Amino acid sequence: MKSEQPVSATATIGILGAGRVGTAVARQALKAGYRVKLATSKPADEIELLVDIVVSGADAAEAAEAMSADLVVVAVPLHKYRTLHPAQLAGKTVIDVMNYWPAIDGQIDEFADDPRGSSEIIADFLADSLVVKSLNHIGYHELEEDGRPSGAADRRALALAGDHGGAKSVVAGFIDRLGYDTFDAGPLAAGRAFGPGTEIFNGRHSVAQMATLFAGASLAA
């Protein structure tokens, strides 16, 4: 049975990838009171010093340990997504923060030749996971600077998309604790509306502004 239970304030967040995005999410999650396990493709003891310096308070972990966390954030380079282990992520709610961005990363034929969004391809690979696309359209530095308390008039909203309502609720709760409102864009395919090159990707928006942008995107589709 796949778990869609809310992530408690004392939950453990597993983050796969220790680049700028992964470490920014890790620091923000620590500020929110979560325990964080950060992993890369390297053994935990080889990244322990890096984690201590860059994400003080997080635990350097083996990939399998991070994937066993209550909520898993995938922030590996997109072209390395097949290094993930679908069986170990089975039943997990997984936040996909990756983007297919040819202008930055170059063309990846697998994604360029597929009309689906990148997260739909990832979800096919992680067939037994509950994949939610979010945190992909905020800069890693902005993630740590733009967070506001719940109810703040200038609180920024982040979109999320997924095919499982319970999983989206889990992710929305997590993002709220990071300091952001959320806008439910709909099924995972809707993630294409906030990928690189879109108005949503390129700006800061409130929930109301995001609703207007998504309505326009729907009319144009």
CA distance 221 to 208: 20
User: Which of the four CATH numbers 3.40.50.450, 3.90.1170.50, 3.40.1410.10, 3.40.50.720 does domain 12-220 have?
Assistant: 3.40.50.720
| Per-position DSSP letters for 6-35, written without gaps between them | PPPTT-EEEEE--SHHHHHHHHHHHHTT-E
Q: What are phi and psi of 145, to 5 degrees?
A: -105, -30
Q: Which residue in this structure is represented by tokens 């990838």?
A: 17
pTM of this prediction?
Answer: 0.93
Residue of 54, 53, 58 whose CA lies nearest to 73: 58
pLDDT tens per residue, the chain (221 residues)?
Answer: 345 566 776 799 999 999 999 999 999 999 999 999 999 999 999 999 999 999 999 999 999 999 999 999 999 999 999 999 999 999 999 999 999 999 888 899 999 999 999 999 999 999 999 999 999 999 999 999 999 999 999 999 999 999 999 999 999 999 999 999 999 999 999 999 999 999 999 999 999 999 999 987 765 54
